[in-house]
Structure 1
Amino acid sequence: MARSYKDMLAEADALVTSVSVDEMAGRFRDESIVMVDIRDPRELEREGMIPGAFHAPRGMLEFWIDPESPYHRPRFAEARTYVFYCASGWRSLLATRLAQDMGLEARNLREGFSGWQKAGLPVGEKPAGRR
């Protein structure tokens, strides 16, 4: 029988370290951390993103993280902690698990961008770019 998305989320949640919006509020500009927004570009245009975050579409993560891939992004080769986020924390939970499996020091922003906005934290208008 196929696994449901709920099974996949529960499995990832057991293996991934998540951080709260409160924990990241004072650390999102820390040079040792890279905030990674995996939301769709339309979401970014509509809602903005965390200032300084790096946009990496969820569908390209495997290719951007792997240094052997022709699509590799050097940003993922830096010795930093990567904090992945989406709107609510579900997509980023799965993305964080993938990133950890691929060898990154990765965390999931538990409440996602929605929680970030609800907390009244800074929001930028445009992606910082694909560095």
Structure 2
Amino acid sequence: MAKSAKELVAEATRDIRSLSGADAVELMGDPNVVFVDVREGEELQKTGKLRGAVHVPRGFLEFYADPTSPTHKRELGAGKKLVLYCGSGSRSALGAKALLEMGVTDVAHVAGGFPALQQAGGPREEADR
């Protein structure tokens, strides 16, 4: 039976670690934590991003995280805790679930996405042009 996007997100959320915006902001500055913004570039241009976050559009996440891929981003390398966020928490939940399935064990997502980080006082910076 086919599943809706809502069902896929609910399933992913059951299987992954979710952080509140406040819990995620407390991790900022930890050299072993990488914040990953999985929103589209247009979204970042409108709102900025969390200071220091790596931008990886959701559609490229698996490729950038895979160390055997020619497009691998070393910032997503082993030994780092990856904290994903998006605009609401849905894409980041799906992304975290995909990374778990790829063997990335230290991954979480921010429930409520970028707005939750902002509400918790997460510092914002302009997106790279």
Q: TM-score, normalised by structure 2?
A: 0.92
Q: Counterpart amino acid of 1:107? A: A
1:16-95 correspondence to structure 2 within 5 Å: 16-95=16-95
Aligned length: 128
| 8 Å Cα contact 2:34-2:76 kept in structure 1 | no
Aligned-residue Cα RMSD (Å) equals 1.5
Report the Cα offset of residue 119 of structure 1. Answer: 3.1
Long gaps (5+) in structure 2: none
**Distance of 2:32 and 2:49 partners within structure 1:** 19
Match of 2:113 in 1: 112
**Distance of 2:41 and 2:22 partners within structure 1:** 25
Q: Counterpart amino acid of 2:2? A: A
Report the Cα offset of residue 51 of structure 1. Answer: 0.2
- Alignment of 1:11 onto 2:14: no
Report the Cα offset of residue 29 of structure 1. Answer: 1.7
Match of 1:122 in 2: 123
Tell me whether 110-119 or 93-102 shows the greater mean CA deviation: 110-119
Structure 1 residues 72 and 121, CA, compared in 2 at 3 Å: closer, same or farther? closer
Note the alpha carbon deviations across 1:84-117, whole angstroms, 9 max, x for none.
0001101100001011111221001112101122
Long gaps (5+) in structure 1: none
Report the Cα offset of residue 68 of structure 1. Answer: 1.6
Tell me whether 34-43 or 114-123 shows the greater mean CA deviation: 114-123
| 8 Å Cα contact 2:37-2:53 kept in structure 1 | yes
Give the match's secondary structure for 1:25: helix
| 8 Å Cα contact 1:29-1:52 kept in structure 2 | no
**Distance of 1:77 and 1:120 partners within structure 2:** 27
Give the match's secondary structure for 2:26: coil
Q: Counterpart amino acid of 1:56? A: V
Percent identity of the aligned residues? Answer: 38
Match of 2:100 in 1: 100
Q: Counterpart amino acid of 1:98? A: A
Q: Counterpart amino acid of 1:115? A: A
Report the Cα offset of residue 78 of structure 1. Answer: 3.2
